Structure 1
């Protein structure tokens, strides 16, 4: 069992201080995690550090979709869409079939002939690119044309006058934070050293001016460390420019932060068996069904405040509600909302900061040399993280070494993926053994894949782990313990934000579960009473700050409310 634990973290930190690495990755979002796996699986000595928790930035605050980008077809970005659809197919079938699930969406039509015709061509091309990218195999069902009655059968809660019919097409959904944690764990399986809450404070250079490592601080202990590496890859998203400046170079990427927000609703609030894809005057709006809730978003607005804790404003929430209510028969109100969250997209600007540096540009992401020995990568999207990672490592190695040590991640299953089909076939047996119904087993399989039996085995050692959380019965107590013993949670907020995701999936942001979750974490992580009380107080302060922030009318006011709650470390 490859686990992210306190002991593993300590071992990795000692290795980072004492060993020399081929590749050091700064940033533990989906791009950095993907780079760490790509490099480690090539046999490169690899280290990865993250200043906060794994996936704490953009990669835990997305629309939770793996998709080709249907809207890009209307900009004729065929290569971009084809690449994303190929990656979608790989994730669905080989890399992470337990975490990524095919999801039908309706594209509502308002005109009987012209709109249906051009939409059918667009979705048809989308399907064709997906099939071609998967070696002429279907990884999701092809488009289906629905009459008005057929569409309302799939989405009964749509307004009768909102459509005359629809096209049903497929994309996929993913728990973004779980994908990142699983990528990091898989990288560790292949030899990477990994430590969260390690902040890079400086970039080191040798006498020839080449980057050869970094200075960092362990935010948990306050200890400083020096990490030596032949190549440093900056994958810090909206923090890209801040990290580049540490190298004292004029090179690198220019990135702007764009905020996207989402609201979360209980599953029973909207009667539908498919999601909805809507085009708005600014972007698109997805109404996305999950097992126990709906996610609706997103927005696309410039963000000029602090980067660690973006938050929705009252105006953002009103925008999402207004656009969703244009098609919903029973209008949503704020009382229906059980959760909100906001993330920042790292939008690349047209040119790199220093045009004299070598650069590789794609339609969605760019890799460039910051200084000899250090590269930056930014842009892209969750769906194409693997391609971004391969490009970044290839670029850092140079063409000759990259050819000698090519990427192997296109067909590399993540932890929980290998044997997933067999594990799914064991669901009835395992459910009967542990007294878990089909709905519970579906939930567990979609989170842990073929590792579900190992998770359930913890109940054998401690039967109390088989009980649901009193305030959040969709989760077992075993899942909280697993977050701490396997998935690298160091703090109460790590559990509730990115693993047992009550921060965005419950009306009180997990407040009612704090005592029970804290009790389990304290037992597993060895906290004393004072530490436990500090963790609970810190998380409750975060809840209050987030709730206060979303009542504010502007980004500045919302940000000011959010940062009234101190970070647990750092």
Structure 2
């Protein structure tokens, strides 16, 4: 079995656990390994703060790995700003457009520009939409991804033949970004680790530790793999657990008032032939008032999202009624003949909607994110969206520095900090992989976009005997399993197939077919005995048969 030697400061998980158990007092302890938590770890480590991050499951296993995969300014919010003269919506979009530019620049291998069409079926919509688009372009300025414009009915149907033609007046053409959310989270975590942060997945918070004055001074952690438990000391603890933020705040103070309500979102994946030939489509208001979109993603068509009240659970199920809802709206809103048999994968996510208890008067729904410092000193950051994760992280670290009287060695530099894989990324790198390693074209393109300037490391593993495809219909290869287990902290089969390779997200049947080989590769790398292999096989089968 070929192995991958750690490089550039990468360390295996057991080294991270040793650091967490060393008795060191950390400047920051971050609870939660999603976009916000990993962004905080990257920011804090870059400032020279001694930082630890723990995630009870895998990085991006929660909300951050079940997003719409868009990096967007929020053109719909700007339309609302125009209609209602809402300055808060205006500033929200302005900041998001700034963050969109930094996001795409910092992870060029994981991001693409995406054209989007919104059909208009009423002439009354045109003035508001036109004004909103004009503002969108003005706010983007030099950071624009392309000029927004109104297009006529004929051009709209040419660009997107599946639009419902009856009653179509015109359409909006604009541009936003698209990315691979699970791999972006892994990149943030691994970049933070390389910069000196101690990051560990599958490590749970058992309890917060308070001193005699009631101030949070650390936590008790538990290894989710072997059950070991130990205390860790930290000057500041940050709660970055997304929809579970209230749960952690109640661990700190059972009387803490809730700040969240949860909304569920469901996504389905279809074959690529169902995606528009040139970009994506967003229906801003279906017949029941919800948003519907269909986007090209990873060679497939991504469809979502239904939203409604939801319980906060670890792995929310994608209900059959939600899938039927999406398929029904595809047939009604777009000229698509699609059925349940066309669905390749489905997953659900829980989005935290935040009420700020610090607001004057009655609590109101926060449009962006909130940062709350409880009397114990626990700092909670929640809400927001993927596009603004960097800004959220910067503000959270600023708050922690003030709270703990910390002394960063350097200022925040994440506006221009490329993540692992993006630092020496070149757009034509796939051709170089084909020439150097004799890879098939689709495999080279996949490795180039998934791993960026680190793709040659994966290709070297392939050349040393791990070049076989995991499934004949997809470009994922065995070398990626080795790389994921050695350098990206993958511990379970689902860590690999759902979040490192994303195969399960686009084709669950293909992931099931690849599962035995993935377990065999992980077992050989980890030295698992027959009982452990059987347990891991059952765990992966359960995940692939239920909620991802």
Same fold (TM over 0.5): yes
Confirm whether residue 102 of structure 1 aligns to residue 113 of structure 2. Answer: yes
SS at match of 1:534: helix
Instruction: Identify if the C-alpha distance between structure 1 residues 543 and 249 changes in structure 2 by more than 3 Å, giving closer, same or farther.
Output: closer
Match of 1:482 in 2: 483
Tell me the number of residue pairs that the alignment of Structure 1 and Structure 2 aligns: 530
Match of 2:93 in 1: 81
Q: How far apart are the structure 2 equivalents of 1:212 and 1:397?
A: 15
Do 2:462 and 2:468's aligned partners in 1 also have CA atoms closer than 8 Å? no
Do 2:275 and 2:296's aligned partners in 1 also have CA atoms closer than 8 Å? no
Match of 1:266 in 2: 271
Q: How far apart are the structure 2 equivalents of 1:146 and 1:193?
A: 50
Uncovered stretches (5+) of structure 2, i.e. residues with no partner:
1-5, 82-88
Of 287, 307, 317, 1:300 maps to 307
Of 99, 120, 131, 1:121 maps to 131
Q: How far apart are the structure 2 equivalents of 1:98 and 1:72?
A: 28
Shift of 1:405: 4.9
Shift of 1:372: 3.3
Q: How far apart are the structure 2 equivalents of 1:507 and 1:162?
A: 37
SS at match of 2:162: coil
Of 449, 453, 476, 1:450 maps to 453
SS at match of 1:388: helix
Q: How far apart are the structure 2 equivalents of 1:153 and 1:272?
A: 9
Match of 2:228 in 1: 223
Within a 5 Å distance, the mapping from 1:525-544 to structure 2 comes to 525-544=526-545
Match of 2:501 in 1: 500
Instruction: Identify if the C-alpha distance between structure 1 residues 436 and 219 changes in structure 2 by more than 3 Å, giving closer, same or farther.
Output: same
Bigger drift between 475-484 and 154-163 goes to: 154-163
Q: How far apart are the structure 2 equivalents of 1:483 and 1:407?
A: 29
SS at match of 2:490: coil
Q: How far apart are the structure 2 equivalents of 1:202 and 1:303?
A: 26
Instruction: Identify if the C-alpha distance between structure 1 residues 440 and 146 changes in structure 2 by more than 3 Å, giving closer, same or farther.
Output: farther
Instruction: Identify if the C-alpha distance between structure 1 residues 419 and 302 changes in structure 2 by more than 3 Å, giving closer, same or farther.
Output: same
Bigger drift between 430-439 and 102-111 goes to: 430-439
Shift of 1:318: 1.8
Shift of 1:11: 1.6
Do 1:231 and 1:396's aligned partners in 2 also have CA atoms closer than 8 Å? yes
Show CA shifts across 1:333-384 (max 9, x none). 11111111000001112425999xxx9x974111111233321111111110
Bigger drift between 81-90 and 157-166 goes to: 157-166
Bigger drift between 152-161 and 37-46 goes to: 152-161
Do 1:29 and 1:180's aligned partners in 2 also have CA atoms closer than 8 Å? yes
Within a 5 Å distance, the mapping from 1:251-330 to structure 2 comes to 251=256, 254-280=259-285, 281-304=288-311, 307-330=313-336
Match of 1:395 in 2: 399
Do 1:254 and 1:351's aligned partners in 2 also have CA atoms closer than 8 Å? yes
Of 432, 435, 460, 1:432 maps to 435
SS at match of 2:246: helix
Instruction: Identify if the C-alpha distance between structure 1 residues 405 and 210 changes in structure 2 by more than 3 Å, giving closer, same or farther.
Output: farther
Match of 1:406 in 2: 411
Uncovered stretches (5+) of structure 1, i.e. residues with no partner:
547-561, 563-570
Match of 2:381 in 1: 377
Of 319, 338, 357, 1:351 maps to 357
When normalised by structure 2's length, the TM-score is 0.91
Q: How far apart are the structure 1 equivalents of 2:125 and 2:249?
A: 47
Q: How far apart are the structure 1 equivalents of 2:409 and 2:185?
A: 27
Instruction: Identify if the C-alpha distance between structure 1 residues 209 and 507 changes in structure 2 by more than 3 Å, giving closer, same or farther.
Output: closer
Instruction: Identify if the C-alpha distance between structure 1 residues 507 and 250 changes in structure 2 by more than 3 Å, giving closer, same or farther.
Output: closer
Do 1:337 and 1:507's aligned partners in 2 also have CA atoms closer than 8 Å? no
Q: How far apart are the structure 2 equivalents of 1:507 and 1:537?
A: 16
Q: How far apart are the structure 1 equivalents of 2:28 and 2:35?
A: 17
Shift of 1:393: 1.0
Instruction: Identify if the C-alpha distance between structure 1 residues 2 and 315 changes in structure 2 by more than 3 Å, giving closer, same or farther.
Output: farther
Q: How far apart are the structure 1 equivalents of 2:526 and 2:241?
A: 28
Shift of 1:162: 5.7
CA RMSD of the aligned region, Å? Answer: 2.5
Instruction: Identify if the C-alpha distance between structure 1 residues 326 and 272 changes in structure 2 by more than 3 Å, giving closer, same or farther.
Output: farther
Q: How far apart are the structure 2 equivalents of 1:509 and 1:543?
A: 10
Shift of 1:117: 3.4
Match of 1:567 in 2: none
Instruction: Identify if the C-alpha distance between structure 1 residues 25 and 271 changes in structure 2 by more than 3 Å, giving closer, same or farther.
Output: closer
Show CA shifts across 1:280-301 (max 9, x none). 2433222111241111111111
Show CA shifts across 1:505-535 (max 9, x none). 1142621111122222222232223222221
When normalised by structure 1's length, the TM-score is 0.88
